[in-house]
Structure 1
Amino acid sequence: MFETSIAETQLQFAVQRDRRADGGQRQVRVGRRDILISRRLAGVSMMISVPVQAYRGVALDVEPSRDGGASYRLSLAHQDPDLDVVLTETADGGAISADWKYWASYLDLPRLAARGGALETIDPRLGGVALREAIARRKKTSVVQRRPRFCARRKEGEGERMATVYQGEREIVCYE
């Protein structure tokens, strides 16, 4: 049971390109809470643990490919470009869309789209809370078409009986 929860919360180390690391490679492990980046720099092994919340979001970048189609890159965007992590690269638009939603949900980060060199937020957020449209609490009926809630519980009065006026009789109320 313990081993399954670890397997669900973290992925295996993936090798990625790193221009500053020895050999031009680094290993990255993506977890629900943190990203572990290990690399060798000037002969010294180092491992950096970056909290997931330090990342700006899950970014989708679309570039034209050599065969005339499109190439999609999904990555974690950070303020420091050296800490950006490539999650997947593919030419399949349907698969990348599903992966984009999955990674944003899994890491609880907003989805970002690269447009004109800048990242644009697709899912608006207020702090750590995702903004969504308000849910309607009542049916969309006009006030004229329905009676107020307290009146709906009572029966309507009988119009014929209410129209009868008795003249010349004393009221029951005593004024003494």
Structure 2
Amino acid sequence: MHHALKIYDIIYAILQHLESSTTDLVNVAMTCSKFSDPALNILWREQSSLAPLIMCLPQDTSEAPHDDTIIFSREPLLTEWERVRINASRIRRLVSNFNHSRVKAPRVPSGPVLQQLFALFPPARLFPNLFALHFGAVSDLPEFRANFLLLRQFFLLGLETLALNVPVDVRLR
């Protein structure tokens, strides 16, 4: 490998040209160990749901039998959560960009799945590089929408942007 390709800034500049092609970035990440981390950082940089993280668990741990809500078919082992933790640390923006009127609803983790995730990894540890959060991307489930104790756990030193959807029935004093 050429010595220039040992410089992270050069690798990143090359990978930026592939940014619009997820398939190419995945192929680069799987082909060369030197490019793997930077390519995965670009792929995971922005997410609109926690479902892709849960889907990093082995296939036999989860299923979405009804209405595309992800539930556990078996309890994941602690070692199986490691890939979730590693990929979560790559996320810089967790933003909700789902347009309810045009697109089929994406898969969403169930309440128990999210509870187990946050019990194992508090948000501050799970997302150390997060700088933008739209709380609706964490969960659109009713039990999480108004969970301000959970929201508080996302208040990180590097957090620059926080967005909330306030329900219309909330009374402001």
TM-score for the superposition, normalised by structure 1: 0.27
**Structure number having the greater strand percentage:** 1
**Structure number having the greater helix percentage:** 2
Higher relative contact order (CA 8 A, sep 6+): 2
TM-score for the superposition, normalised by structure 2: 0.27
